[in-house]
Amino acid sequence: MRRQPAKPRATAAVDEVGLRLRAIAVTGAVSLAFLAVGAQLVRLAAVNSGVILQSNISEPVAQSFSRPDLVDRNGRLFATDVENPSLFADPAVIIDRDEVVEKLTKILPELNGRDLRRDLSDRSKRFVWIKRQIAPQLAQRIHDLGLPGLAFRTELKRAYPLARLAGHVLGAVNVDNRGVSGMERYLDDSASVEAVHGATLSERAPVRLSLDVGVQHSLVEELQDATKRYKAESATGVVMDVNTGEVLASASLPEPDPRLGSAADTQQTDRITGGTYELGSIFKVLTVAQSLDAGLSTLDTIYDVRQPLVEGRFTIKDLHPLGRPASVRDIFLHSSNVGAAMIALKSGGEQQKAFLGKLGLLDQGRTQAGPIAMPQVPKRWERIEQITIAYGHGLAVAPLQFAAAAAALVNGGELVKPTFLRGHGDGAKTRVVSAETSRQIGDLMRLNVTDPAGTGKRADVPGYRVGGKTGTAEMAAAGGYAKKSVISSFVAAFPMEKPQYVVMVMIFKPQGTDETRNEITAGHNAAPTAGRIIARVAPLLGVMPEPVQAASGATQATIATPN
């Protein structure tokens, strides 16, 4: 076997040098390529500085909002966040579009099949919402279909375990769990919610409302009963602490269902804060208070109410004329329109207007749950306006504003703003009448319930010292007022030796019944309704009944509902 001759050492050295040179050249070329790419990226970044670049992603980030719980004044739950499945689709993965549309619309009939088919036809999309916040049992049925391209993600949904209770006050949220009305909107406006991705529950402390679940439930039940009992169109009511302005209960039937979300916002009108009404003779509380406080009358001042009062083309009459001169006390007890008009004319229009303004009845109010409807104030304030406003016509206000004004007249004379948060009132109090005037108004309201001649006698609740004033206002109609369509109102306070709470009830379009002897005035419907409400809520609010005298002469406590 012949052996190959060995290469000379010089030739081997040359080959090794060549290899190194080639390696260096390759490395240099690669490095230059990277440098060129890097330079190009720097150039593009410089050219596009300040420009927001967008990129398509397979799944859009769905923003939701984490919300604290809403609880009543005693910590009982009104609203909370829960985890809930939402359905989406990846059109590129769906095998049979028509099968998906057919089966989903059977389980979710609210879906629009045509729109769904169109959305699923675009296979360039990788994410399409089909239905957000689905009931878990429906989500399970869809999952069991086993259809490719369908999936779920967990989001937050607002839950209301008490259903419609306090629906107007609570408000509603939209599909992103953001507040759109009521106290839910307040949480957003006060920066109490947090933007989240997915289902991250809030760690914030619950927000404590001024409402009391028990008082709210009692109020709603009694208003529902009154609507049926008096064949009325609707009813509203509010219970408020006269010293703090805290609203313990507020209801306007029918109550909306906050579980409907944004749809609940426009479903029903909250007549307590969202409507303005001519309230009738409960305004006589204000008329008398103004005159007493200004020193223009005393409870014993006599006015001649024997004849109707004529002002231009208008004639003001009393429903049940006294036929004799009457004191301010009698005018209040018998609810004399003529007497109230005379008292107001003695005060004068400017003083009347200033007094109502001081009570907050001429300007728009606001609570945490939203703005209160703007009062409807007459464009001119002449003699006829003085007269009609004296007995509750010609000026329309929201019931909550009137309740606050009434509270000021019985709490010692200080106006406090209504609030739906416990312990969160602004604390500002404005003196509107003297303590002595407040005491006299309280005595008159109590007398109106205890005196056989009083229009509020059917509101009496043995043991709870109720006082109040009736009001029956004809509802506005084309060209005037509808004689047979009225709003019956009763404003009450208790216990009258030191009032703690105001209750205001309004019944819309009550009908005469056998129970009311075919009457539709407030003394026959709104007054007894207020009495039944007080009989239920007073024990819940810790108001102890005073001993009353039984028929046998023995002393006992009672919380009996009035007849």
| Residue carrying the six token digits 């207007």 | 353
Task: Supply the residues annotated as catalytic.
Answer: 281
Do residue 250 and residue 305 come from a single domain?
A: yes
User: Does the residue 1 lie in any domain?
Assistant: no
Do residue 298 and residue 430 come from a single domain?
A: yes
How far apart CA 76 and CA 95 sit, in angstroms, is 49
Q: Tell me what pLDDT residue 151 has.
A: 94
**By residue range, what is the domain housing residue 534?**
214-556
Do residues 215 and 73 touch, judged by C-beta distance below 8 A?
A: no
Q: Tell me what pLDDT residue 477 has.
A: 73
Share of the chain above pLDDT 90, in %: 76
User: Does the residue 471 lie in any domain?
Assistant: yes
Angle among Cα 135, 136, 141 to the nearest 5 degrees reads: 100
Q: Tell me what pLDDT residue 399 has.
A: 98
User: Does the residue 122 lie in any domain?
Assistant: no
- Nearest alpha-carbon partner for 160 in 103, 81, 215, 255: 81
Q: Tell me what pLDDT residue 231 has.
A: 97
Q: How many folded domains does the chain comprise?
A: 2
Q: Which of 209, 243, 271 is the last residue of a domain?
A: 209
Do residue 195 and residue 334 come from a single domain?
A: no
Q: Tell me what pLDDT residue 459 has.
A: 97
Write out the two tokens for 81.
Answer: 């966040």
List the beta bridge partners of residue 155.
84
Do residue 430 and residue 460 come from a single domain?
A: yes
Do residue 164 and residue 262 come from a single domain?
A: no
Q: Tell me what pLDDT residue 551 has.
A: 42
User: Does the residue 35 lie in any domain?
Assistant: no
Q: How many helices and strands (H and E) does the chain possess?
A: 15, 24
Q: Tell me what pLDDT residue 36 has.
A: 64
Do residue 312 and residue 344 come from a single domain?
A: yes
Do residue 170 and residue 311 come from a single domain?
A: no
How far apart CA 405 and CA 240 sit, in angstroms, is 11
Do residues 127 and 56 touch, judged by C-beta distance below 8 A?
A: no
Q: Give the torsion through C-alpha atoms of 254, 408, 468, 361, to 10 deg.
A: -60
Band of the pLDDT at 312, cuts 50, 70, 90? confident
**Buried residues in 123-140 as b, exposed as e (16+ CB within 10 A):** eeebbbebbbbbeeeebe
Band of the pLDDT at 532, cuts 50, 70, 90? very high
How far apart CA 245 and CA 502 sit, in angstroms, is 10
List the beta bridge partners of residue 246.
419
User: Does the residue 36 lie in any domain?
Assistant: no
Statement: residue 209 has pLDDT above 60: yes
> pLDDT tens digits, residue range 22-45?
666 667 666 666 666 566 555 555
Do residue 319 and residue 379 come from a single domain?
A: yes
Residue 167: its H or E element: helix 167-170
User: Does the residue 86 lie in any domain?
Assistant: no
Q: Tell me what pLDDT residue 43 has.
A: 58
> pLDDT tens digits, residue range 230-263?
999 999 999 999 999 999 999 999 999 998 876 6
> pLDDT tens digits, residue range 161-178?
999 999 999 999 998 999
According to DSSP, residue 343 is labeled H
- Nearest alpha-carbon partner for 214 in 74, 421, 424: 74
Do residue 361 and residue 277 come from a single domain?
A: yes
Statement: residue 554 has pLDDT above 60: no
Residue 104 phi, psi (nearest 5): -70, -40
Q: Which of 209, 240, 272 is the last residue of a domain?
A: 209
The CATH number of residue 490's host domain is 3.40.710.10
- Nearest alpha-carbon partner for 407 in 280, 285, 300: 285
The per-residue pLDDT of the chain, averaged, comes to 88
Share of the chain above pLDDT 70, in %: 84
Statement: residue 274 has pLDDT above 60: yes
User: Does the residue 121 lie in any domain?
Assistant: no
Statement: residue 456 has pLDDT above 50: yes
> pLDDT tens digits, residue range 375-400?
999 999 999 999 999 999 999 999 99
Sequence-distant (6+) residues with CB within 8 A of 112 are none
Do residue 331 and residue 288 come from a single domain?
A: yes
Q: Which of 209, 236, 252 is the last residue of a domain?
A: 209
- How many Cβ atoms are within 10 Å of 540's Cβ, its own excluded? 16
DSSP 132-147: SS--HHHHHHHHHH--
Do residue 174 and residue 323 come from a single domain?
A: no
Do residue 508 and residue 527 come from a single domain?
A: yes
pTM, full prediction: 0.83
The CATH number of residue 199's host domain is 3.90.1310.10
Residue 214 phi, psi (nearest 5): -65, -45
Statement: residue 544 has pLDDT above 80: yes
User: Does the residue 522 lie in any domain?
Assistant: yes
Statement: residue 496 has pLDDT above 80: yes
Pairwise pLDDT comparison (338 vs 429), residue with the higher score: 338
Q: Give the torsion through C-alpha atoms of 191, 197, 198, 199, to 10 deg.
A: -20
